[in-house]
Amino acid sequence: MLFHYLAQDLMGRIKEGNINQPNTKAVLEYLTTQKLKPLSVKPLILKKSGKEFAIFKKTLSLADQVFLTKYLALMLKVGTDLFSAIDILIQDFESGPARRFLFETRTNLEQGKPFWNTFANHPEYFSSVITNLIKAGETSGNLEATLNQVSINLERDRNLQTKVKSSLVYPVILLITSVVMVFFLVTFAVPKLGDMFLSTGQTLPTFTKIVLSTGMFLNRNLFIVFPLIIVIPIGLFYYFRKTQKGKERFASLMEKIPVASDLVEKMALERFASVLSSLIKAGMPIIQAIEVTAGAVGHPKYQSALIRIAKEHLTQGISMGNSFKKETIFPAVVSNLLAIGEKAGHTEEILKTLSVFYETEIDAALKTLVSLLEPLLLMFLGVIIGGIALSLIVPVYQLVGQF
């Protein structure tokens, strides 16, 4: 792909030219090797692949956020100032939320506002953790390293989401297929057989009457039932995913399912360790870092425990290790390691080690959950369809026995 660049050499002289490289990153790396400071990089032939067009979605996905933070960090690393780095990225996109976000960022910088301010204005895209990390990095003059750390954290979150989604694809497809098959069988096939059985005047078993009545009811009210089957799951998804009360009830429900509760808790602990490690590394005060982490763990019990640690225990002068020991919801290994890390002055490294440990634990818990879900769903499907089939076969045998 052909790019046109504008750069400044060590003597301050402006140089420009065309270069053939696969992407913007390769151009920046080439200019760095030539001891040139990039000022502008424009593609002369703009050809975007399907993956690259993901940036033009209506919302900034996790992949979009990774892209922006990673390339901003890269440009700052090679010596490009923040304004020029944003201008290069603006020229790389024709439209979409990424371009609008970058334009807003540049405008805010021109007005003297801090870089993190734009991130704070878009909580629908960027979490408070990202905003506070960038704020801490900008304040400490270490924005390049902070952006790089943010991109790594986002990449890890994306990988974790991908693992969870890919692990649950087959069980979800199996569950949806089961529901569709049962609905079709009960709504369309059963009523036809029901009419035949009723016309014979024979006494039907109670279970058969229940199945036939259900099927005939669904068939008669199909225009009401079918929209409900679509609306109810969407409503439940919105309630459990978007509302605070729904999140709390979902977490409470997950706690009652042994394997699922284990997975949810390990994901919360991994999130706690990785986020707090990043915030401490960025130079944020420990109490503020724990408060920010509390809003990111995604588990009501751990969130409440972290808030108590920050606002009650630490403010009273209790050490970090003892503060976590007071909150028995945290595993002993976490409390003990934090106490050791605090004494040795290596809290950040301990948290990073815990994060890696719980990533491994999450993989194992996912495999266990999927290995249990698949046979359970198959058994559920077999019992339901077998029960429906049996409820229809018994009257047939009774009818045949009359002749």
- Bridge partners for 2 per DSSP: 20
Domain-wise residue ranges, the chain:
2-126, 157-403
Give the pLDDT confidence score for residue 53 in this predicted structure: 38
What burial letters (b/e) apply to 307-322, b meaning 16+ CB within 10 Å? ebbbeebbeeeeebbe
Give the pLDDT confidence score for residue 51 in this predicted structure: 40
CATH level 3 topology of 157-403: Receptor-associated Protein (1.20.81)
Give the pLDDT confidence score for residue 203 in this predicted structure: 75
The tens digit of pLDDT for each residue in 86-133 reads 887 877 766 677 777 888 888 888 778 888 888 888 888 888 888 888
Give the pLDDT confidence score for residue 259 in this predicted structure: 73
The C-alpha R_g of the chain, in whole angstroms, comes to 29
Give the pLDDT confidence score for residue 52 in this predicted structure: 39
Distance CA 194, CA 117 (A): 66
61 three-state secondary structure:
coil
Give the pLDDT confidence score for residue 305 in this predicted structure: 92
H or E element at residue 4: strand 2-8
Instruction: Please give the chain's pLDDT, 403 residues, in tens.
Output: 667 777 777 777 767 666 767 778 888 888 888 888 888 777 754 344 344 333 334 567 777 788 888 888 888 888 888 888 888 787 776 667 777 788 888 888 877 888 888 888 888 888 888 888 888 888 878 888 888 888 888 888 888 778 777 877 888 888 888 888 888 878 877 777 777 776 666 677 788 788 888 888 888 888 888 888 888 888 888 888 777 788 778 777 777 777 778 888 888 898 899 889 888 888 888 898 899 888 888 788 888 899 999 999 998 888 888 999 999 899 998 999 999 988 888 888 999 899 889 988 888 888 888 888 888 888 888 888 888 888 778 777 776 665 5
Written as six digits, the tokens of 385 are: 């369809």
Give the pLDDT confidence score for residue 168 in this predicted structure: 78
The CATH code belonging to domain 2-126 is 1.20.81
Q: Give the list of residues 6+ apart from residue 341 with CB closer than 8 angstroms, or none.
A: 347, 349, 350, 351
DSSP letter for each residue of 318-340: --HHHHHHHSTTS-HHHHHHHHH
Give the pLDDT confidence score for residue 153 in this predicted structure: 83
Give the pLDDT confidence score for residue 298 in this predicted structure: 78
CA trace torsion 304, 310, 315, 321 (10° rounding): 100
The single-letter DSSP state of residue 123 is T
Would 2-126 and 157-403 be classified into the same CATH topology?
yes
What helix, strand, coil percent values describe the chain, rounded to 5? 75, 5, 20
Give the pLDDT confidence score for residue 95 in this predicted structure: 61
pLDDT > 90 fraction of the chain, expressed in percent and rounded: 5
Give the pLDDT confidence score for residue 54 in this predicted structure: 38
Give the pLDDT confidence score for residue 306 in this predicted structure: 93
